[in-house]
Chains A and B, each alone.
Chain A
Amino acid sequence: MPNMNPERVKMPVQEGEVRSHNIEEVALGYTKEMAMEEAERCLNCKHMPCMQGCPVSIHIPAFIEQVKEGNFEEAYHIIKKTSSLPAVCGRVCPQENQCEKYCVRGIKGESVGIGRIERFVADWARDNLKEEALKPLKNGHKVAIVGAGPSGLTCAGDLAKLGYDVTVFEALHVAGGVLVYGIPEFRLPKKIVQHEIDSLKQMGVHIECDCVIGRSETIDELFEEGYEAIFVGSGAGLPNFMGIEGENLKGVFSANEYLTRFNLMKAYEENSDTPIYKAKKCIVVGGGNVAMDAARSARRLGADVTIVYRRSMEELPARKEEVEHAMEEAIHFHLLTNPVKATGTDGWISSLECVEMELGEADASGRRRPVVKENSAFSLECDCLIMAIGTSPNPLIRSTTEGLETNPKGCLIVDEKAMTTREGIFAGGDAVSGAATVIQAMGAGKKAAQSIHEYLTEKSK
């Protein structure tokens, strides 16, 4: 008999007050018993609706079936067949909009906690399994991957499994992309990312850090060096600003800068050489996951944090769980509010002038367009302002590679096979889609790997 409890097994978490003063992971993960109990809630539907919501098509009912039985090793192997970063996905995927959205248990209660079970399995495997150093037989073909973020690493993993000689070029000093510079330790511990990267290395994937493709070497030079296909997963790294007065005051940061200092450079640690401004009153502009990450990071450095977002709670694009976590950490929300000007004292930001907004007609995205309320100007005091209003693709690759076409937003144009407008150059992730999620990037990397395999197989016939 399945467990018919309409509610899922609660995830143990660190208390809000406690965790807002440390950088340890917020969610503590299921125990073995909790995972098995939650797995029992899965009805093992024949038509597997959950799978259509997974960008990398994990065999969800199959792995959950194994968890029910306590066969965690088998469950892990099932996940690993299609996902190269399970411990990451189990933590940062927006499951409520993906697999869990289609779960039939969600109709009359809460859907099965698929992400939580996946996370348990990946964590169990990391603690209990010796990663099989099974190196696939090399097929003699070389592929280069630009960018060691979620799309690049997934593409690399899938190609390595097929026997390709894969080298990943990373601009920063560590691999992981947004998983290491963007998503904070308290949401995704870096040792977990490192473990996933190590397991790719064990499969024979080469990772070359400190190499900025477009500058250190160009795409064309990679072809000259014998790479037969190239995957560009360079992400959407360029931070957007609003273009309002005062954005260049001291104390104003892009979320990218703030998070890079916090995460990549570990500025919260006493022995890190990289400075970070420890604000008293911090305002974060934006309503996405990045805004939540920035706000919660600033909170952990001791700031009183307010999120300013121009639409209402309903339209907030961040994951529900992240918003709830932020609220539990005493982060304030100033919704239906839009900044118009930052003012400073002696060059340092001291307040943010805002206007109130109201929601009008729905726009092209289907969300109701925020409109300025007349005579609603007011100002908020702050000594730190973090702009988390999105990013654009990095122009480095397109400006140094002939024949790569982009859309007006600067995103690389690809066909249904993930190939760009130049033969042999494939692309995926945020470099193509603009800022999206980790799992979407992984899905794109996976698809590109398959296309590269078909392309090179065809070519060598």
Chain B
Amino acid sequence: MVKIIEKESLNPTVTKMVVEHEKISKKAKAGQFIILRVDENGERIPLTIADTDEMKHTVTIIFQIVGSTTKKLNELNVGDTIYDFVGPLGKPSEIEGLKKVCVIGGGVGCAIAYPTAKALHKNGCEVTTIAGFRNKNLVILEDDFQQVSDRFIMMSDDGSVGEKGLVTDALRKLLEKETFDEVIAIGPLIMMKFVCQLTKEFNVKTVVSMNPIMIDGTGMCGGCRLSVGGKMKFACVDGPDFDGHEVDFDEAMVRNMSYRDFEHHAYEKTCNLLNQEVK
């Protein structure tokens, strides 16, 4: 059980929570994730660690309210506890030796991109961040990114904030003029797929962070398997970071939809349950 110390709504669908967990706060590195269960009958869901504070013994998670579990999680408040919280899991991002990197975050993926940008910045790497959102109301972590980025480019689908366009539009402009040791792209699968197509054109190494369906997060279930370079990999133990030019995104997109009907049903059920409680 871990205690919630802080809760902040970053936008209408994205929430930040800071919890107390001394061991994870000391151990976690950028790119790693935790698995949590909200209550006794809860499912296990993976969430990337957005930040840690070794001194305060805290771990930050940022999540989008997409299903019944994240909805239940969002019902918890400061002082409440999360039933299970285990980590850090997965391999940390490899950032050593990188001098100039472009970090790309798409939507709530920015929550995962931020700790990587922060770690790179701390390592003395020149960081260019491209953050993309659908519109102004969905922007998260703008100030945080500014602090760890040498250049910060904001994009939005409708032009309500930053430049109008996709993150790939901004990236293409950059790549036409300069190059990077590496591009790190984290966001929706479709975004990562197109970033990788672009960087392949310019021959720039690209790392993506995969977030497939998982149960245990320790290599046991194989539910998170992906095709990387034609080989089967488990995101939880071999990743979550992979060479983006090797990942079969189309397969990953199909696999992520495995439980869509069930999830929709469960979400509706949770909504109904909560509505009843309100009455």
Contacts and interface: CB of A to CB of B under 8 A. Distances in A.
A55 interface: no
Contact of A239 (B44, B222, B251, B254): B222
Contacts of B37: 173
A250 B222 contact: no
Nearest to B270: A273
B59 to A, nearest CB: 12
B172 to A, nearest CB: 30
Nearest to B223: A257
Given A210-B85, A216-B23, A265-B43, A275 B215 contact: no
Interface string A133-168: 000000000000000000000000000000000000
Contact of A265 (B23, B87, B215): B215
B23 A217 contact: yes
A132 to B, nearest CB: 30
Contact of B218 (A253, A273, A396): A396
A17 to B, nearest CB: 28
B257 A250 contact: yes
Interface in A243-278: 243, 247-248, 250-251, 253-254, 256-257, 260-261, 264-266, 269, 271-275, 277
B227 A395 contact: no
Contacts of A53: none
B27 A260 contact: no
A215 B87 contact: yes
B86 A181 contact: no
Interface string B247-262: 0000100110111001
A209 B37 CA distance: 13
Contacts of B86: 171, 173, 210-212, 216
A237 B42 contact: no
B232 A250 contact: no
A403 interface: no
Contacts of B44: 173, 265, 274
A222 interface: no
Query: Taking chain A's interface residues, is the majority helix, strand, or loop, or is none over half, making it mixed?
Result: loop
Given A239-B221, A250-B257, A254-B221, A266 B24 contact: no
B206 interface: no
Given A250-B258, A265-B44, A275-B262, A257 B221 contact: yes
A172 B216 contact: yes
Contacts of B68: 273
A277 B44 CA distance: 17
Contacts, number: 115
A215 B220 contact: no
A394 interface: yes
For this complex, into which size category does the number of interface residues on chain B fall?
35 or more
A173 B232 CA distance: 27
Contact of A248 (B42, B69, B251): B251
Interface string A218-250: 000000000000000000011101010001101
A233 B252 CA distance: 33
Interface residues of A, number: 40
B220 A239 contact: yes
A389 to B, nearest CB: 12
Interface in B230-279: 232, 234, 237, 251, 254-255, 257-259, 262-263, 266
Interface string B100-127: 0000000000000000000000000000
Query: Taking chain B's interface residues, is the majority helix, strand, or loop, or is none over half, making it mixed?
Result: mixed
A109 interface: no
Interface in B170-200: none
Given A248-B251, A265-B44, A210 B220 contact: no
B257 A272 contact: no
A360 interface: no
A396 B219 CA distance: 9
A240 B83 CA distance: 31
Contact of B263 (A172, A173, A216, A275): A275
Contact of B255 (A171, A217, A248): A248
A6 to B, nearest CB: 44
Contacts of A347: 254-255, 257
B31 interface: no
Contacts of A254: 221-223
A425 to B, nearest CB: 19
B215 A260 contact: yes
Given A215-B87, A217-B23, A254-B222, A261 B255 contact: no
A219 to B, nearest CB: 14
Contact of A257 (B27, B83, B215, B255): B215
Nearest to B67: A273
Given A248-B232, A250-B258, A212 B218 contact: yes
A216 B221 contact: no
A265 B69 CA distance: 14
Contacts of B227: 248
Contact of A256 (B41, B87, B222, B255): B222
Contacts of A238: 219-220, 222, 234
Interface string B4-24: 000000000000000000011
A241 B221 contact: no
Interface string A372-416: 000000000000000000000011100000000000000000000
Contacts of A269: 41
A216 B24 contact: yes
B89 interface: yes
A394 B218 contact: yes
Contacts of B259: 275, 277
Nearest to A269: B41
B88 interface: yes
Given A216-B24, A275-B262, A247 B232 contact: yes
A431 to B, nearest CB: 13
A308 B89 CA distance: 35
Contacts of A253: 222-223
6 contacts: A210-B85, A250-B254, A256-B220, A257-B221, A272-B43, A394-B220
Given A173-B84, A215-B27, A347-B254, 7 more contacts: A171-B216, A215-B87, A216-B86, A248-B232, A257-B223, A264-B215, A275-B266
What are the 8 closest A-B residue pairs judged by CB atoms, nearest first? A257-B221, A275-B262, A347-B254, A210-B86, A254-B222, A274-B43, A237-B220, A273-B43
